Structure formats: structure tokens, C-alpha cells
Amino acid sequence: MPKRRVLLTGAAGRIAPHLWRGLADRFDWRLLDIVPVSGRPDALQTDINDTEAMRRAMEGVDAVVHLAAQSYDADFTTSLVPRNITGVYSVYEAAQRAGVRRVVLASSYHVMEGYGPFAEKPTVCQADDGSNASEFPISSEAPVRPDGLYAVSKACGEVIARYFADYHGVTSVILRLGAVGPKSASTGAWPRTWSAWLAPQDFCQLVENAIEAHNVRFVIVYGISRNTRRLYDLEPGRALLGYEPEEDSELHLSHWYRAGPVPPAPPPPGIPYGHRLPELIVPSGRLALCWIGQAGFFVKSPAASLYIDPFISVWPDTLQAPLLTPAVLRADVVLMTHHHRDHLDRQALPLAAVASPSLRFAGPASCCAILEGLGVAASRLIALRPGERMQIADMEIVAMATRHLSDATDALGYVVRSPSVTIYHTGGTENDPVLLGAGEYHPDLLLVPINGRGGNMTAEQAAQLVGQLGVPAVVPMHYGSLQPQADLVDRFLTSLASAAPRARPAVMAYGAILYLPLRTEI
């Protein structure tokens, strides 16, 4: 059976080669751009605003994939309008004249970024009446809310496509594409990229399905991978096109450093993806670890999940917006290390208990007493002492002794053991020989405070503990939420290079997720 012939505009652009190379065995590509296409002397060189030339280019083709566009930093009237508005009109007019019945139009997720938490203007995240809270995931049927003039021009292109579908029979699949690129492109410092990344293989699948889709007159779908932090609804693409993305930016988000400077970056804004943490897909033999700020972590195995010290309330001195709310704090158990406010969240945990009736809370007796006084049923509280254990499906939890301030004499750390990996969370603690007791469990990863105040060890002492325990990997914690990072991480990494040169440091981005055991090829 002969391959379908498809005209691809913008073929010399950054993302087009993923298609004409990746889908070379599926389609007979006719390439077109206003500039030469490297390595393809057969490509047509045409301005998309030349409607008659575009009609000739479409003779004998079965479909058009229209990628050609003017990107972000351009003048609206002289660049964006000709390329992204009148250029789209020209393509559709040419398709109508040439009898082409399917156009796949590359739009952009930016047409909806006014709803998201990463909009340039924070007020755009509010509803028209001034109230907060856009609903996530964002539907493709919601009114457009562009975050800039580039997005305005792309939204206009969508309207042109709707007109030609309704009145001229040119069926359209609108792809609101995210950030197309290899896995390295998914790990930028800006959380928008984590949410909107589109892996090349998912991009190819989406375009192939859009070309081949039957019984579709006009549809808008989001072109992103199945990112844990996605803000956009993938269901229409799945239902109408059979789009099943395989990649997730979370798998590539680990930030690793050996001794040396860490690029400074302000804490990113809060990301409303916490409600998806329980949905993380954890392969057999792995463990997922998410840093939710300060000493807080989410841990998930294939069979169970838990939080350690979730600090998610907003205080006047907090520097990071919370990643989740009490209403979505879903897990099997919350482990508390001691009763200080950034470890025992008195505002959030009672609300979480109401929202999740099966959620249990375990920790020092002082923490359990406080929660009971706040209305949490005693039957849901588990008081632990050093050496005591509890089993949560395939994870064993061992309470460990620490040495914190004199008002927290029953403070705990935790060893969390799964069949494949062991984590040691020291809790808030000074450097003390009692911590070495965790060595008998041979932890694979150490979570250790480095802020050096309020009863916690310094960055240098934390590095010494890594060497004393002989752990192969370490995540520094307990900084950034109530105290600026300053030089804490630099000091820790510098000391680690001397105290434990074989240990592998993981400086996690706020909200990043590690999949354990660690891969050597990261």
C-alpha cells in the first residue's frame, strides 16, 4: 500500500525534523519552508503567504501538517500577524483550492497559559470576578486565555481553522504543542517546561494519529507528554486520536552536582500538581522520592505511599509556595519527626485527616498528643519510639533516635526500607553518634539537614555524617522554605568532596522526583 503524501511546512525549523525523520517510514513527506532545508535539496522553498504557490505545493497531497510560524519574540503587526494569522489563512485557502481535506495545525499551549500558575501576570491566574483557583487539568474546551501576543496570534489561527472546517470542509486537528525537545529539554529551571514538555517520540505519535484520524471534523488537543506536573487535559487526545504518550519529564528531572558551584536560582512558584503525586507510576523494584520543601518528602513504592514532615501551610516567613494542599494529601501514612511547626503542620494535618479518612499519622508521642488535641481520632495516631517498626504494604518503617533541641527530646528520624532500596531520613537533628545506628540498615540514600540552626547540623557536619555512614548517595534538605539557600549547598558540596568523595550528591529542585535505586548513567 503506498504511503500517504503529506506536505510539511516549516520543515527547516527546530521541531520539524523529528517528524520527517521519525516518520519517514509512515509518510511520503513533501517538505516546504521559506529557507532551504538542510540535507533535503528536494524541499520546496516558498512563502506561505503566496496562496497560489501553496496550492501548487499541495497538489496530490493527502494532508498538510502546518508548523511554519513566527515564534515568541517578534513584533505583532510586522511579524506575528503575517506569519501566524494571514499565513494560516493562506494555508487553509490553498488547501481548500487544492482539495486537501485534512490540515494538522500546530498551535501552542500558550493560548491557555493565562490560566496557569506560570503566567507572566499573576492576576491572570484569577477568575474574572477576582477569585482564585483555576481548575486543573485545563480543558481544551475552556475559553482561550493567552499569555502574550504570540499566543494571541496562535489563537487567531485556531479560529481560522474552525471557519474552514465549518464552511469549507477542510477538517482540522489543532495541536496545542508544548515544549518539543529531547529529555534534556525537560529539565530546565523553569517549572513551565516540566509541565509542558513534549518528547519527540510522543510528538511523532501525536502527529501520525492526527493525520490518520477518522470521523474528525474539528478538534483541539494538547500536545504534551504524560508529565506528572501537567496542567492540561490529555483525555480528548486519547479519546479522539488514540494518543497515548509514553514519556514523563519527571523521569529526567534529577539535578546532580559533584563538588563545585551550584547555579543560583530563586525558588520556583508553587505548582498545583500535588494532587497527582499518588498517581505516580512506580515500576517494580523502584521507589519514587519527591522533595516537597524543608524536611518534607513524598515516598511511593509500587504498593504504598507516605509523607515525611509535609510542611504545606503558608506563613508570613515562608519563601516557597506549597506544592499541594491538605485536601490532596493522600497517602497511607504521614510520618512526623518532631513537633516544631515546619515538621508537624498544625494547620494542614487536621484538614488532611478530614479530607482523607483512611490517612494515618505516626511519630513521637508528643506529636500524636498535639494532633489528638486538634481533633484527629486517637485510632488514627501511632506513637513511635526509637527502634519500633511499622509495615506499610511493601515498605518497612523503622523509628530512629536523634538529638534535637531540649523541647523535642522524643524527636525521631526514620529508615524506610523497600525490597529494592533503603532511605534514611535523619529528621531535624544535630550531629550525634546516635545517628550512626542507622548504619546497620545499610541505607542507599541519606536525607540530611544542612541549615545549621534550630538544632540542626551544619552543612559541614552533614558532609561528615555522610562519610561516617558510608552511604553511596545523599540529598541535602531543610533549607529554602524558611531560610534563603545562600551558600548552604555550595558549602555542603565542597565539604562532601573531602569527607565522602565517593558519595553521590543529589541537589533536588523544589518539587523534583527521584526514582530509586539511582541509575549510574544520569
SS3 486: coil
Torsion-angle region of 70 (φ positive above 0: left; ψ -120 to 50: alpha; else: beta): beta
**Residue 5 to residues 55, 102, 104, 121, 418: CA-CA distances in angstroms?**
15, 12, 14, 43, 52
Grid-cell match 481535506, residue found = 101
Q: How far apart are CA 116 and CA 193, in angstroms?
A: 13
**Residue 271 to residues 177, 400, 464, 511: CA-CA distances in angstroms?**
20, 32, 34, 8
Q: What is the dihedral of CA 190, 135, 202, 302, to 10 degrees?
A: 90
Catalytic residues: 150
Q: How far apart are CA 29 and CA 495, in angstroms?
A: 56
Chain centroid to CA 408: how far?
Answer: 36
**Nearest partner of 273 among 229, 328, 226, judged by Cα:** 229
Determine the longest span between alpha carbons in the chain, in angstroms: 82
Provide the β-strand partners of residue 306: 299, 333
**What single-letter amino acid sits at 489?**
V
Q: Parallel, antiparallel, or unpaired: how do β-strands 4-9 and 63-66 relate?
A: parallel
Q: Parallel, antiparallel, or unpaired: how do β-strands 381-383 and 360-363 relate?
A: parallel
Q: How far apart are CA 433 and CA 154, in angstroms?
A: 62
Q: Tell me how many degrees the CA angle 243-2-237 measures, rounded to the nearest 5.
A: 10
**Nearest partner of 48 among 116, 4, 106, 5, judged by Cα:** 106
Torsion-angle region of 427 (φ positive above 0: left; ψ -120 to 50: alpha; else: beta): left
- The three cell numbers of residue 76 are 505583532
DSSP class per residue in 450-469: -B--SS--BHHHHHHHHHHH
Strand (E) or helix (H) holding 382: strand 381-383
Asked if 64 and 46 count as a contact pair (C-beta separation under 8 A), the reply is no
**Residue 439 to residues 17, 197, 426, 498: CA-CA distances in angstroms?**
52, 40, 12, 20
**Residue 117 to residues 62, 231, 312: CA-CA distances in angstroms?**
40, 9, 17
